[in-house]
Structure 1
Amino acid sequence: MVEKPTEIEQNTLIRKEKDTFKTGENFSAQRFLGLHKETEDRYTFRLWAPNAEKVWVVGDFNQWEQTDLMTFDSECGIWEITLETPQKDQLYKFRIQQQGGTIIDKIDPFSFKFEKRPNNAAVIYDFPEKKWRDGLWFARKKRSNYFRRPMNIYEVHSSSWRQRPDGTPYSFKELKDEMIPYVKKMGYTHIEFMPLMEHPLGRSWGYQLTGYFALSSYFGTPEEFQDFVEACHLSNIGVLIDWVPGHFSVNNDALAYYDGTPQFEYFDPDRAKNIRWGSLNFDLGKPEVQSFLISCVLFWIEEYHVDGIRVDAVSSMIYRDYDDGPWTPNHEGGNRNLEGYYFLQKLNAVIKGRHPEVLMIAEESSSETKVTGLIETGSLGFDFKWNMGWMNDVLRFYELDPIYRKDNFNLITFSFMYMHNENYILPLSHDEVVHGKKSLMHKMWGDRYKQFAQLRNLFTYMITHPGKKLLFMGSEWGQFLEWKFDEELEWVDLNDPLNQSMQFFTEQLNQFYKDERALWELDNTHETLEVIDADNSDETVLSFIRQGKRKKDFLIVILNMTPVERRNFTVGVPYPGTYTEVFNTEMKEFGGTWTAHNPECQTVPQEFKHYTDVIKTTVPALGAIILRPDSINTRRGR
């Protein structure tokens, strides 16, 4: 039996919690701040509000009256009170007499649960101590190298994936029964959720947060999400979540100017105000804010067993001039936000120190700062970075009428020049199918048949291009309408045979990706890709090799970007022998017209670029084919 700490020991622990929070080194601050059950009938409330004049805790248990005044520790700026009247499931807030005398009710920044929006009172709630059953999943993760494993992410906005007939979203209990089997069947390795933390406005998609430690009550209960993650792991599916440490909601009853002064935000109003997103920027150099944010990440990792964190809007955190408003240079005269830069390095160092198997992913749009790699080399320390340049160039290319593609061929080949500058994820994300940008399907040129053909071509290019993969929900079957955050996906599309075929294509392509080691085994090395021909702009056909560890383990990828079938097409190959077509985007079961694969190809001695042998085959219009060596002589060739 564990002995209860003595009063002296308890006071020492409390002092340590306060001191480390103040110095930016308390990485489990939620275990001290916020609401905590001491005994069956006693709760302690603690709040960081260093410049408040007075603070009361108000709620159902005291009729929301100012009867319970908290005491203040001026050394660390923390208010505290222990009460016997609160009961489970009752609501509460902190009533702050801010500096200057204004009195306002504020949320508990460390609450684990809030009432459903638009209301935002915290709920008296004991966070569950779950007995997890996913030990085998974590054991496998610790033994594997995620750089050399397949990673194909299904990006999801949880409340618009499926909805009930009354328009309310599925809870995670319902999503567990429907989403996990679907994702498993479709062959994805991970689900990535857009922010799940508490936020006041659905229109923000969760990117303007208020309750950083709380699963939004709109999506279900913490227990349901824990069970969902566990079920994913039992099905060999990882779970990633988006997180927003750069900026937060301006709502007056949340974190904004909490104690009447710049508490969570920068003191400089130009740095505090985020004009582009109508929000407020965290002061990332303030130690208490660092404790708050790093504790938040570890909380979601340790209490919900999530496998990775995708950090949103990293560019806004590391550049002072990223926003649309006025800015001032740093003390070195440059545009780097040094506080944000060093905070992100600290964040990644702490997370990797405790959980080296957790994926840290950056959504970052510049090329001026090294984002992935070792912190010791000057990097921010992330594992992966979204390749925004690839996404923008490729989508611009596929939107072009094919007659203009030969003059813009570099849009799909330029990424080969920098593909190893970072460890990349190739995203076709929610940002590209909203706000009038049109769905991926709708971006494609031509009639409906040609649009499906090009979507299959695009997905094949993404799957065969070096880098991990991400696709936003609904795109897998070619949803034509833009994503609507407040409506469920257009599942009715799947009554159409072409949408059914597109969904089946994506399923088969995803499985092909997982099965073919050449597509991921050497993903972050220079050996993984060899360009055969990236200069054939006249015919607008791209060809390259993806290489696995073993010499004979490679694939030849040929993509035709025009509506002209290329018959007797010549392509160089590294070794003489025979090659077999193993994937063709124009097969009838995928929605195309081909009923049989190309016949086996026998090499012919002929110079092609730096190759001494070639094969000849047919590449379908707006199609892609993949060939595998069947019987080759690796002692000759090249």
Structure 2
Amino acid sequence: MAHVKVHSLFTDFDINLFKAGKHYRLYEKFGSHVMTVDGENGTYFAVWAPSAKTVSVIGDFNYWIEGEHKLNVRWDESGIWEGFIPNVGKGSTYKYKIQSHNNDIKTEKADPYARRCEHPPNTASIVWDEPYSWKDSKWMKNRKKNNALNAPFSVYEVHLGSWKKHIEENRFLSYVELADELVNYVKDMNFTHVELMPVMEFPYDPSWGYQLTGYFAPTSRFGYPEEFKLLVDKLHQNDIGIILDWVPSHFPEDAHGLGFFDGSSLYEHPDKRKGYHPDWKSLIFNYGRNEVKSFLISNAIFWLDQYHADGLRVDAVASMLFLDYSREDGEWEPNMFGGRENLDAIAFMKEMNEAVYSSFPDVQTIAEESTSFPMVSKPTFLGGLGFGMKWMMGWMHDTLQYFAKEPIYRKHHQNDLTFSMTYAFTENFMLPLSHDEVVYGKQSILGRMPGDEWQRFANLRLLYSYMFTHPGTNLLFQGAEFGQSEEWNFQESLDWHLLQYDVHKGIQSLIKDLNTLYKKEPALYEKQFSAEGFEWIDHNDAENSTLVYIRHGEKKSDDLIIACNMTPVPRENHRIGLPKSGKLKEIFNSDLKKYNGSGNFKNKILTAQKKDWQFRNYSVEITIPPLGMVAFKYQNSKK
């Protein structure tokens, strides 16, 4: 048998923290680490497998023969196997061959803490260290301001495999190519952040990355780990933040993955009612097990620490919160209080958010949570889950339903639009038009719009204009920003050729200018999560299907007045109440020619009249274009 040296990176303190579920940087200890021990170069390996009888490292350095390099089990009953193997270095491929006490089952597992994985369909781990010289110190120093809850936060959601393909070679763009093309595009479009659908290693392309096997490794589909760091670095150098999709809700049953890891239910909950996900045919983490909690929280910290991520969008939070999620009666068991809440998962999420924000107070965690579970984005000290923001799924659903209706019927559905304001400030909401809304027969966002071509594109411009001026932050999925016609297909590039047509070019120009408006006007972001930042002028005009509202900033002089017309009939001489006297200037109009609108319905400088209207002392007559939005701002009184 080849030589394995006894060596450890773990102190007694590490072990105590690990067992208590309080070790949040396990990636510094577990996995494979290239190092020198007693003058010999090699690699230290450590893996958690408490039910194992033996653990061997098999790899290209020992012809994948079991028993050549057996790890040593620690004496402290931590279940950790470890050892130093000389002459194994960066680039070596390996797995753990685990023989279990349970029926002597033998399994070959990828390293849960591997920093790099083989390109799927191959499944081995790769010994790797990724020294990288970061050049984003300016961003990192200032990002507290850029990621703050009172800063503009406009997110472009991207699936790296289908954003754009290399046409001649019919392949994905690499991290290095994306660091050029994607970064330049996002900067040109004026988005503040990019959100990447999961980049952690995953075996199966049609899962879009949501079934992970390599939690600590950026997928090798697009290049090396340090090349992914380059992509992050380039975004930061161009003042663009990066949010990573993170999936602590479930993991696949693939033989090399975390499932039944050491011949026992190690990472997954042993009770199928809590440990198996019927919708996704995947396994659910055992959130009550301390070592699993340490693994997951360490993973969240890892991407913020090692990859400078600016936040995590946490997938499928609702499935974690509720024991009866997607289950019939009899398929779930109530908690100790007789309720349907998963108390272990709730405790885990609170602890994860506390750990993240105490180490990285300048990032955001964002919950994809679709129920009315209270206080998701409130601090844990107030009893909340501690997320920074929550996706506003209700707004998304009601708004898309409303815009899909022919304008003639909209007067009967005014409540679909106004209802969001009854709960808009119960959470820190992000308005998402995400990948989930453009798949499985739902059509593209453009595809949902009714009417002829002119109306469809005018409706889309109106939808986006309304979205960007509604309280909250926003997220748009790739392709939506130029009116992609077809549903999203993860195997194909976006239809960039559509930009040769004025209608699509117009949508793209509109999004670019809406992002500029959002960043430039403090009224749209300073109080985006506060009821003080919003005031209705008129939400009752169902007959004409108009909405008029004020967005307030910290300063009164920053206030904006927004008017939307949800019908193809222009509203001319449309009187609205005003909060004060003065002159109003149109600062945005979704019907301009540059957006491929008519360009016929602009407002000149308007002067407020001393005429009572809508319970206000002043009013003015405005023009709202057909299927259009206009935004006004009071002119400086000195002018």
Structure 1 length-normalised TM: 0.95
Which of these residues, 112, 115, 123, is aligned with residue 120 of structure 1? Answer: 123
Aligned to 1:199: 202
Aligned to 2:51: 51
Q: Give the C-alpha shift of residue 58 in structure 1.
A: 0.5
Trace 1:471-510 onto structure 2 (pairs within 5 A): 471-510=476-515
Q: Is this contact kept in 1: 2:54–2:70, CA < 8 A?
A: yes
Does the alignment pair 1:172 with 2:208? no
Which of these residues, 264, 267, 276, is aligned with residue 261 of structure 1? Answer: 264
CA distance 1:215–1:631, shift in 2 (3 Å): closer
Per-residue CA deviation, residues 151-210 of structure 1 (Å, 9 max, x unaligned), is 100010111111123332111100011111111110100000010000001111111101
Equivalents in 2 of 1:143, 1:628: separation in Å?
A: 25
AA of the residue aligned to 2:151: R
Deviates more, 1:323-332 or 1:109-118: 323-332
Trace 1:574-589 onto structure 2 (pairs within 5 A): 574-589=579-594
Which of these residues, 356, 367, 388, is aligned with residue 383 of structure 1? Answer: 388
* Structure 1 residues without counterparts, runs of 5 or longer: 1-6, 634-638
AA of the residue aligned to 1:553: D
Aligned to 1:293: 296
Trace 1:195-274 onto structure 2 (pairs within 5 A): 195-274=198-277
Q: Give the C-alpha shift of residue 54 in structure 1.
A: 1.9
Q: How many residues align?
A: 625
Equivalents in 2 of 1:396, 1:332: separation in Å?
A: 38
Which of these residues, 453, 461, 465, is aligned with residue 460 of structure 1? Answer: 465
Equivalents in 1 of 2:291, 2:170: separation in Å?
A: 40
Per-residue CA deviation, residues 609-630 of structure 1 (Å, 9 max, x unaligned), is 2212111121111111111112
Per-residue CA deviation, residues 447-494 of structure 1 (Å, 9 max, x unaligned), is 111111011101111110010111001100101001111111111111
Does the alignment pair 1:420 with 2:421? no
Percent identical residues: 40
Q: Secondary structure at the match of 2:312?
A: strand
Which of these residues, 396, 399, 406, is aligned with residue 401 of structure 1? Answer: 406
Per-residue CA deviation, residues 496-552 of structure 1 (Å, 9 max, x unaligned), is 121112111111111111111111112222221110011111110001001111112
Q: Give the C-alpha shift of residue 145 in structure 1.
A: 6.9
Q: Is this contact kept in 1: 2:119–2:221, CA < 8 A?
A: yes
Equivalents in 2 of 1:628, 1:513: separation in Å?
A: 14
Deviates more, 1:216-225 or 1:390-399: 216-225
Q: Is this contact kept in 1: 2:107–2:262, CA < 8 A?
A: no
Aligned to 1:135: 137
Equivalents in 2 of 1:116, 1:425: separation in Å?
A: 34
AA of the residue aligned to 1:32: K
Which of these residues, 157, 160, 163, is aligned with residue 159 of structure 2? Answer: 157
Per-residue CA deviation, residues 541-590 of structure 1 (Å, 9 max, x unaligned), is 00100111111221110111111111111111111222111111111111
Q: Secondary structure at the match of 2:230?
A: helix
Aligned to 2:32: 35
Aligned to 1:636: none
Q: Is this contact kept in 2: 1:186–1:506, CA < 8 A?
A: yes
Q: Is this contact kept in 2: 1:457–1:623, CA < 8 A?
A: yes
* Structure 2 residues without counterparts, runs of 5 or longer: none
Aligned to 2:326: 323
Deviates more, 1:19-28 or 1:312-321: 19-28
Equivalents in 1 of 2:227, 2:409: separation in Å?
A: 51
Q: Secondary structure at the match of 1:411?
A: helix
Which of these residues, 365, 369, 375, is aligned with residue 364 of structure 1? Answer: 369
CA distance 1:70–1:145, shift in 2 (3 Å): closer
Structure 2 length-normalised TM: 0.95
Per-residue CA deviation, residues 2-32 of structure 1 (Å, 9 max, x unaligned), is xxxxx99x86953332332122111111111
Equivalents in 2 of 1:477, 1:552: separation in Å?
A: 33
Q: Is this contact kept in 1: 2:8–2:83, CA < 8 A?
A: no
AA of the residue aligned to 2:57: V
Aligned to 2:17: 20
AA of the residue aligned to 1:630: Q
Q: Is this contact kept in 1: 2:481–2:511, CA < 8 A?
A: yes
Q: Is this contact kept in 2: 1:58–1:65, CA < 8 A?
A: yes
Q: Give the C-alpha shift of residue 141 in structure 1.
A: 2.2
Aligned to 1:72: 73
Q: Is this contact kept in 2: 1:276–1:324, CA < 8 A?
A: no
Q: Is this contact kept in 2: 1:199–1:209, CA < 8 A?
A: yes
Q: Secondary structure at the match of 1:611?
A: coil
Q: Secondary structure at the match of 1:270?
A: helix
Equivalents in 1 of 2:442, 2:457: separation in Å?
A: 18
Q: Is this contact kept in 2: 1:429–1:471, CA < 8 A?
A: yes
Q: Give the C-alpha shift of residue 374 in structure 1.
A: 1.5
Q: Secondary structure at the match of 1:61?
A: coil
Equivalents in 2 of 1:542, 1:309: separation in Å?
A: 34
Equivalents in 2 of 1:260, 1:301: separation in Å?
A: 32
Q: Give the C-alpha shift of residue 70 in structure 1.
A: 2.0
Equivalents in 2 of 1:389, 1:478: separation in Å?
A: 23
Q: Secondary structure at the match of 2:633?
A: strand
Q: Give the C-alpha shift of residue 143 in structure 1.
A: 5.3
CA distance 1:52–1:539, shift in 2 (3 Å): same
Does the alignment pair 1:511 with 2:510? no
Aligned to 1:3: none
Q: Is this contact kept in 2: 1:167–1:487, CA < 8 A?
A: no
